[in-house]
């Protein structure tokens, strides 16, 4: 609709001021004056009409005009409209098809021009518009911008999404404050490109092809506050590259090819607050990489190759509030303790295996700590003690086996704690007692042992948090004992166990030892919960160390006994039902000759026999000493068989009591083969992030329980078939296609196969103990029935990022323990009505980023535990079916928003595009119950003939048609078929085919049916 206001409707003729007659004039004079006035008015009117022909100018068709402005949005214009007044100061021609703009040259008063999203190539005519202050040319086909050099009054210039390569002509735009050159073809920034732009505040150069930046190119940008260089091909940052940017507050360099951050490269940026270096190839952070960034508040270094952060690298970050180091290869985190202002720290998806005491010593203001997706198997007591402001702690997807009683002590503000997807078996009573603010505790997907300890834990949770369900919808369940497997923790009661206080069944005994000898005291207790045993000496708890140790069987061993070790020793066995203790007296006397137990036999010093003793006595004594030494020598060989075992070169080893190597860590060592001399009895082997191709030599490691071969170059995995004791196997990021050999690994609980070239997954059906299966980012195009036939213990299944188009009905039916199913980022077009039938424990289902258009009513009805359903980024057709689906969701899950924050939206029809599913109502559609418009007719057919019955119905949602015979659903087969048009055809009719046939049309609003009688008579004539 056209609007004409302002300049386009202003009348030039203005009211003439009334003329006042002097009092001394008579009436005749007054009459003359009145006539004269009328003539003057007439003359003025004629003059206005002849002198101002543009007063009648019309607003151009399809445009809106007001106060020296013309707007023509989305009009499919292929040229500049006519009739635009030369005095126009604002012209907006967004989203048209204009290619020629020569006619703009006469609009010399223009100050604001927006030509976004057109087809413009040549902009020479803009050189005359010297009054322009704001110019938008986003999404055109512009290559040459030399003509813009004349527009010296420009303050804002947007040239993004064009084909520009050369930008030197912009150096003359001295008033420029904002310049957007993103998404062009710029490959180089030459010295002088921004020479005179001293007023520039924001410069956007992201998503170009920039490889080289000449030193000094930014020197004169003394007012620049924001510089965006992300998504380019920058390799090198010269140490003087940012010189002169003394006011820069934000710098983004993400998604480049930067391999190192040189010392002092950012030293010229004293006001920098935000630095983004994510998605590069940075391998290390040196001590002076970020020197002088004292105002920095946010640093993002995620998705790099960082394996080490040198001590002191972050020492000057006195104001840093957010640090993201996720998706790197960091093993040690001790260098972060100086960041006293830090509020968010993301260390997820690194190679951290241990969290030591003191790692977070001074991080008093930290509110969120992300440690997910690492290899953490040990957290020292007190590691989190100083995090008094912590509100969210993410420890999920690690290898944590044990939770210390004081692990979370002092975290009074913690309200979200994620411990899911670990290897936790036991939870000591009181572990979470100090977490007064806890609202979410995620413990699912752990092999929990349900016993009296767990019972106490659940009861304490209910007592401490009576107003809220901290375990939430992802309710953890028992894994052991077998008879309680899969039982939710919320359902266990006192009747499930026989809880008893401690009873000491092996008590320590009184002993007398000599100085230098070894003291060993044993203590064993039974009870449920299993008693916790401590040792005291003279009623003071023993201090353990290198000489005084308590082993896993609770045996106390003191080596090289000293005189002060004598006294009263007490073994104390405790559980929450009580405690028992037993005492033993230890006397230390005399001196012991120190013999070498770990050495070869040494020469025996000659013994002098007193003259009064006979030769027989001397020989006897020599013989006894020799026998004693020989016994000690053989004892050393038998007692310490693995003492000579060496850790393979470049690897790190974890040694257990008696010097037995149980874990070998060889990640990030650039190995091209399996190391030699790996002890055959090891339980854990980490060979991730190497260049290994051949793994045949692993076949002898039959005691292995955990094997990590991720990030190598492996294709053939047949040799793994011998490792039948494996419980955890990571083969992610390799080149594997064939996985048939994995069918033998029936003890597997965790299997990671992400980022390979796998197509066929049928051999996985034998892995009956599997709980976590990651198959994301492979070449799987079809999931056939039976692929997961025996995986009744599977809890998490990842199939995202494949090429899946077809999922056969019933493929998931046996996954009765499944809690999380990831199917996003595939090519799924259709959801079968019974695709998810039987998944009663499923609480998270990801179907986003597919090609799903329609959702049959009832598709998710059986998912009674569903808490999150991700459907965004699908080309959904919004109709009565979708409305019904959404209403069912609201009715089935009234207490929770299962669609979450990623709200899906309509894609079809066009008039509803981008409308949120949560916003659609009955008013958007005309929903009707079924109406049968083509009805089946009564028929008589002969035996052997073909019977055809038609049925067609209309309605919204589109009716679903079924056929019955004598009120029983027809069984379809080779002879009885229903085709896409819902026509029923029975070939080679038999006598039993006679009867009442009914066509039933149904949708969410109701059903309609029609009947037809079929008589079968006679026999078909031959030939």
Which 3-state string (H, E, C) describes 533-547? EEEEECCEECCCCCC
Q: Which residue has the higher pLDDT, 849 or 291?
A: 849
Q: Are residues 414 and 487 in the same domain?
A: yes
Give the chain's largest Cα–Cα span.
177
Residues 335 and 434 in one domain: yes
Report the alpha-carbon distance of residue 365 to residue 904 in Å, rounded: 37
3-class SS of residue 235: coil
Residue 660 — pLDDT band, cuts 50, 70, 90?
A: low
Under 8 Å between Cβ of 340 and 316? no
My answer on whether 422 and 520 are in the same domain is no
Residue 27 exposed, middle or buried by CB count within 10 Å (0-12, 13-18, 19+): exposed
| Among 89, 53, 94, CA closest to 72 | 94
Of 591, 616, 644, which closes a domain?
Answer: 591
pLDDT at 989: 92
Report the range of poorest mean pLDDT among 362-366, 790-794, 853-857: 853-857
Structural domains in the chain (count) = 4
What radius of gyration do the chain's Cα atoms show? 41
What mean pLDDT comes out for the span 604-622? 41
Q: Give the predicted TM-score (pTM) of the model.
A: 0.53
Spatial neighbors of 234 by CB under 8 A, at least 6 apart, are 210, 211, 213, 253, 256, 257, 258
Locate all alpha helices (DSSP H) within 395-484, ordered by sequence: 452-464
Q: Are residues 492 and 506 in the same domain?
A: no
Beta pairing class for 511-515 and 578-591: parallel
Q: How confident is the model at residue 96 (pLDDT cuts 50, 70, 90)?
A: very high
Which H helix or E strand runs over 639?
A: helix 615-639
The pair of three-digit structure tokens given for residue 871, joined into one six-digit string: 């459907």
- How many Cα atoms occupy the beta-carbon half-sphere of 145 within 13 Å? 28
Q: What is the pLDDT of residues 728-760, one digit of tens each?
A: 999 999 999 999 999 999 999 999 999 999 999
Indicate if 475 and 375 belong to the same structural domain.
Answer: yes
Q: Could you tell me the sign of the dihedral formed by the alpha carbons of 263, 266, 268, 271, in that order?
A: negative
In a domain, residue 398? The reply is yes
Per residue in 466-505, pLDDT (tens digit) is: 767 788 777 799 988 888 888 998 889 888 888 888 999 9
Q: What percent of the chain has pLDDT over 90?
A: 53
In a domain, 481, yes or no: yes
Tokens of 978: 């229903």
pLDDT at 621: 52
Answer whether residue 737 is part of any domain: no
Per the domain annotation, does 932 fall within a domain? Answer: yes
Claim to verify: residue 816 and residue 889 sit in the same structural domain: yes
Asked whether residue 600 is assigned to any structural domain, the reply reads no
Could you report the per-residue pLDDT of 218-276, keeping only the tens digit for each? 999 999 999 999 999 999 998 889 998 999 999 999 999 999 998 888 988 999 999 99
pLDDT at 51: 37
Domain that holds residue 1002: 928-1019
Number of H helices, E strands in the chain: 4, 57
Residue 803 domain-assigned (yes or no) = yes
Residue 886 and residue 776 in one domain: yes
Question: Can you read off the two tokens belonging to residue 97?
Answer: 């098809």
817 and 785 in one domain?
Answer: yes
Q: What DSSP line would sit under 725-748, residue for residue? A: T-SEEE--SS-----GGGGG-TT-
The candidate with the shortest Cα–Cα distance to 673, out of 625, 721, 719, 728, is 719
State yes or no: pLDDT of 604 exceeds 80.
no
Rounded Cα distance, 606 and 613, in Å: 16
> What's the pLDDT band for 1000 if we cut at 50, 70, 90?
very high
Burial label for 882, CB within 10 Å (0-12, 13-18, 19+), is: buried
CA 363, 368, 374, 380 dihedral sign is positive
Return d(Cα 139, Cα 134) in angstroms, integer.
16
Same domain, 513 and 480: no
Q: What integer pLDDT is reported at residue 629 of this predicted model?
A: 44
Together in a domain, 1002 and 948: yes
**Mean pLDDT taken over the chain:** 84
β-strand partners of 156: 134, 178
C-alpha torsion sign, points 812, 817, 819, 822: negative
Q: State residue 25's pLDDT score.
A: 38
Q: Which two tokens stand for residue 603?
A: 């020469």
Query: Phi and psi (nearest 5°) for 474?
Result: -85, 70
3 state SS of 699? helix
What confidence tens digit (pLDDT) does each residue in 29-83 have?
344 334 434 433 333 333 333 333 333 357 888 898 988 899 998 889 999 998 8
Q: Which two tokens stand for residue 737?
A: 């296609």
Residue 625 lies in a domain: no
Whether the pLDDT of residue 141 is over 90: the answer is yes
Q: Does 655 have pLDDT greater than 80?
A: no
Residue 581 confidence (pLDDT): 93
Q: Which of 496, 518, 548 is the last residue of a domain?
A: 496
Contact call for residues 43 and 53 (beta carbons, < 8 A) = no
Asked whether residue 378 falls in the same domain as residue 513, the answer is no
d(CA 371, CA 96): 50
Structure tokens at 568: 């009263």
Give me the percent of the chain exceeding a pLDDT of 70: 87
Considering only 71-75, 304-308, 702-706, 879-883, which range has the smallest mean pLDDT? Answer: 879-883
CB atoms within 10 A of CB 326: 22
Where does the pLDDT of residue 875 fall: very low under 50, low under 70, confident under 90, or very high at 90 and above? confident
Residue 986's domain is classified under what CATH number?
A: 2.60.40.10
Q: How confident is the model at residue 23 (pLDDT cuts 50, 70, 90)?
A: very low
Supply the CATH number for residue 411's domain: 3.80.10.10
Beta strand segments in 176-293, E: 178-180, 188-189, 202-204, 212-213, 226-228, 250-252, 274-276, 284-285
Instruction: Kindly state whether residues 478 and 430 are assigned to the same domain.
Output: yes
Q: Which of 496, 522, 544 delimits the end of a domain?
A: 496
- Least Cα distance to 686 among 656, 721, 732, 651 occurs for 651
CA dihedral 158, 162, 167, 172 (to 10 degrees): -30
Query: Residue 705 domain-assigned?
Result: no
> Is residue 521 pLDDT above 80, yes or no?
yes
């Amino acid at each position: 609709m056209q609007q004409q206001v302002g300049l386009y409707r202003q009348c030039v003729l203005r009211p003439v001021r009334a003329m006042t007659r002097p009092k001394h004039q008579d009436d005749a004079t007054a009459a003359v004056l009145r006539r004269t006035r009328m003539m003057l008015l007439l003359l003025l009117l004629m003059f206005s009409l002849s002198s101002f022909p543009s007063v009648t100018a019309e607003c151009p068709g399809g445009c809106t005009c007001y106060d020296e402005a013309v707007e023509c949005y989305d009009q499919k214009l292929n040229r500049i409209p006519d009739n635009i007044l030369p005095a126009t100061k604002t012209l907006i021609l967004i989203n048209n098809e204009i290619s020629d703009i020569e006619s703009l040259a006469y609009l010399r008063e223009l100050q604001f021009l927006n030509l976004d999203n057109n087809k413009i190539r040549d902009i020479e005519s803009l050189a005359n518009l010297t009054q322009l202050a704001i110019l938008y040319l986003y999404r055109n086909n512009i290559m040459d911008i030399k003509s813009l050099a004349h527009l010296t009054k420009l303050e804002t210039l947007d040239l993004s999404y064009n084909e520009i390569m050369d930008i030197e002509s912009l150096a003359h735009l001295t008033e420029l404050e904002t310049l957007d050159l993103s998404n062009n073809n710029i490959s180089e920034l030459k010295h002088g490109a921004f020479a005179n732009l001293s007023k520039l505040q924001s410069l956007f150069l992201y998503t170009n092809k920039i490889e080289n930046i000449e030193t000094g190119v930014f020197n004169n940008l003394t007012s620049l506050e924001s510089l965006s260089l992300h998504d380019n091909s920058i390799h090198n940052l010269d140490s003087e590259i940012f010189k002169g940017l003394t006011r820069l507050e934000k710098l983004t360099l993400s998604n480049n090819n930067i391999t190192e951050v040189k010392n002092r490269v950012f030293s010229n940026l004293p006001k920098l607050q935000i630095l983004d270096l994510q998605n590069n190839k940075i391998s290390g952070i040196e001590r002076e990489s970020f020197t002088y960034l004292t105002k920095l508040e946010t640093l993002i270094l995620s998705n790099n190759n960082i394996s080490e952060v040198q001590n002191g690298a972050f020492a000057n970050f006195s104001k840093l509030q957010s640090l993201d180091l996720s998706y790197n290869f960091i093993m040690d985190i001790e260098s972060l303790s100086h960041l006293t202002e830090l509020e968010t720290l993301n260390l997820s998806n690194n190679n951290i295996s241990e969290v030591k005491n003191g790692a977070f010593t001074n991080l008093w203001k930290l509110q969120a700590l992300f440690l997910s997706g690492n290899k953490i198997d040990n957290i020292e007591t007190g590691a989190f003690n100083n995090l008094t402001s912590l509100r969210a702690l993410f420890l999920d997807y690690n290898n944590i086996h044990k939770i210390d009683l004081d692990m979370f002590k002092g975290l009074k503000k913690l309200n979200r704690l994620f411990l899911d997807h670990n290897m936790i078996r036991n939870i000591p009573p009181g572990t979470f007692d100090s977490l007064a603010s806890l609202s979410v505790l995620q413990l699912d997907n752990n092999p929990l042992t349900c016993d009296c300890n767990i019972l106490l834990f659940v009861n304490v949770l209910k007592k401490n948090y009576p107003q809220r369900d901290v375990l939430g919808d992802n309710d953890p369940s028992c894994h052991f004992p077998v008879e309680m497997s899969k039982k939710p923790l919320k359902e266990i009661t006192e009747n499930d166990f026989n809880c008893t206080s401690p009873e000491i069944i092996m008590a320590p005994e009184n002993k007398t030892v000599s100085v230098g000898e070894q003291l060993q005291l044993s203590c064993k207790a039974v009870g449920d919960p299993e008693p916790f045993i401590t040792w005291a000496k003279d009623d003071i708890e023993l201090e353990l160390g290198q000489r005084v140790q308590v082993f896993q069987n609770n045996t106390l061993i003191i080596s090289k006994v000293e005189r002060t070790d004598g006294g009263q020793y007490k073994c104390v066995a405790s559980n929450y039902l009580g405690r028992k203790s037993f005492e033993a007296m230890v006397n230390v006397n005399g001196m012991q000759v120190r013999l070498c137990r770990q050495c070869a036999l040494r020469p025996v010093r000659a013994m002098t026999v007193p003259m009064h003793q006979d030769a027989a006595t001397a020989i006897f004594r020599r013989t006894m000493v020799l026998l004693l030494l020989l016994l000690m020598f053989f004892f050393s060989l038998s007692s310490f068989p693995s003492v000579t075992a060496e850790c393979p070169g470049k690897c790190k080893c974890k040694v257990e009591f008696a010097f037995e190597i149980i874990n070998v860590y060889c990640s990030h060592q650039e190995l091209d083969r399996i190391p030699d001399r790996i002890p055959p009895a090891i339980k854990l082997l980490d060979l991730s992030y190497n260049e290994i191709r051949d793994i045949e030599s692993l076949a002898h490691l039959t005691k292995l329980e955990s094997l990590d071969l991720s990030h190598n170059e492996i294709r053939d995995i047949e040799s793994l078939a011998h490792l039948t004791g494996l419980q955890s196997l990571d083969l992610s990021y390799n080149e594997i296609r064939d996985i048939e050999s994995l069918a033998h690994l029936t003890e597997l609980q965790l299997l990671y196969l992400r980022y390979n070239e796998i197509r066929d997954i049928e051999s996985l059906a034998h892995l009956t103990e599997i709980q976590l299966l990651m198959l994301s980012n492979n070449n799987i195009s079809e999931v056939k029935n039976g692929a997961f036939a025996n995986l009744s213990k599977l809890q998490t299944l990842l199939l995202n990022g494949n090429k899946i188009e077809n999922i056969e009905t019933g493929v998931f039916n046996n996954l009765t323990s499944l809690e999380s199913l990831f199917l996003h980022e595939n090519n799924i077009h259709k959801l079968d009505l019974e695709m998810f039938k039987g998944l009663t424990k499923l609480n998270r289902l990801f179907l986003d980023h597919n090609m799903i258009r329609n959702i049959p009513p009832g598709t998710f009805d059986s998912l009674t535990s569903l808490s999150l359903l991700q459907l965004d980024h699908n080309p959904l057709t919004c109709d009565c079916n979708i409305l019904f689906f959404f209403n069912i969701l609201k009715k089935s899950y009234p207490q929770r928003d299962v669609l979450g924050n990623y709200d899906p939206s309509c894609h079809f029809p066009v008039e509803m595009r981008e409308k949120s599913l949560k916003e659609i109502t009955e008013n958007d559609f005309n929903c009707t119950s079924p109406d049968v418009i083509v009805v089946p007719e009564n028929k008589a057919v002969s035996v052997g003939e073909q019977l055809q019955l038609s049925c067609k119905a209309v309605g919204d949602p589109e009716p679903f048609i079924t056929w019955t015979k004598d009120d029983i659903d027809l069984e379809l087969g080779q002879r009885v078929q229903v085709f896409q048009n819902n026509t029923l055809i029975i070939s080679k009719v038999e006598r039993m085919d006679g009867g009442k046939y009914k066509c039933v049309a149904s949708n969410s609003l109701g059903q309609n049916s029609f009947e037809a009688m079929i008589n079968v008579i006679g026999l078909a004539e031959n030939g």
